[in-house]
């Protein structure tokens, strides 16, 4: 149980394009989803918290206009990297939780984004 699917797993695109990453909870309803970013040999950095039906809460230093987050249903959140540039290349990971504050988050397998 508690499976989180992330798609695509790998994407390469040209500078200036926008890229959408999907995060789905397959067997549970996720009232809260999280988006993280990870650079090589570094730890995960929380970008934003996404609650179903409301605006995402971004961490300090994360540009909300650059990283658009939508959590339209209890099983789907999307992250759109707008006008992507090479410095946006990274490993993006989502996680989801049922809303029980003491239950663990469950993570997707990540999306490796490369901007040329």
Partner 1 sequence: DAKTTQPPSMDCAEGRAANLPCNHSTISGNEYVYWYRQIHSQGPQYIIHGLKNNETNEMASLIITEDRKSSTLILPHATLRDTAVYYCIVRSGTYKYIFGTGTRLKVLA
Using CB under 8 A, list all residues that contact partner 1: 2, 4, 6, 32, 34, 36, 43-46, 49, 91, 93, 95, 97, 101-102, 104-110, 112
By beta-carbon proximity to partner 1, the closer residue of 84 and 110 is 110
List strand residue ranges (DSSP E) for 8-44, in order. Answer: 10-13, 19-25, 32-38
By beta-carbon proximity to partner 1, the closer residue of 20 and 107 is 107
Beta bridge partners of 48: 35, 58
By beta-carbon proximity to partner 1, the closer residue of 89 and 105 is 105
CB of 34 vs partner 1, minimal distance in Å? 7
DSSP 3-state assignment of 111?
strand
CB 97 within 8 A of CB 104: yes
By beta-carbon proximity to partner 1, the closer residue of 59 and 63 is 59
CB of 5 vs partner 1, minimal distance in Å? 10
Question: What is the sign of the dihedral through the CA atoms of 111, 44, 32 and 62?
Answer: negative
């Amino acid at each position: 149980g508690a499976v989180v699917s992330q798609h695509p797993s790998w994407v390469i695109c040209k500078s200036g394009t926008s890229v959408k990453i999907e995060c789905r909870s397959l067997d549970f309803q996720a009232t809260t989803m999280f988006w993280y970013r990870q650079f090589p040999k570094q730890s995960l950095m929380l970008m934003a918290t996404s609650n179903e039906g409301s605006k995402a809460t971004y961490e300090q230093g994360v540009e909300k206009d650059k990283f658009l987050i939508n959590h339209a249903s209890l099983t789907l959140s999307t992250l759109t990297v707008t006008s992507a540039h090479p410095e946006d290349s990274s490993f993006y990971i989502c996680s989801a939780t049922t809303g029980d504050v003491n239950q663990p988050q469950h993570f997707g397998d990540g999306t490796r984004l490369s901007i040329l």
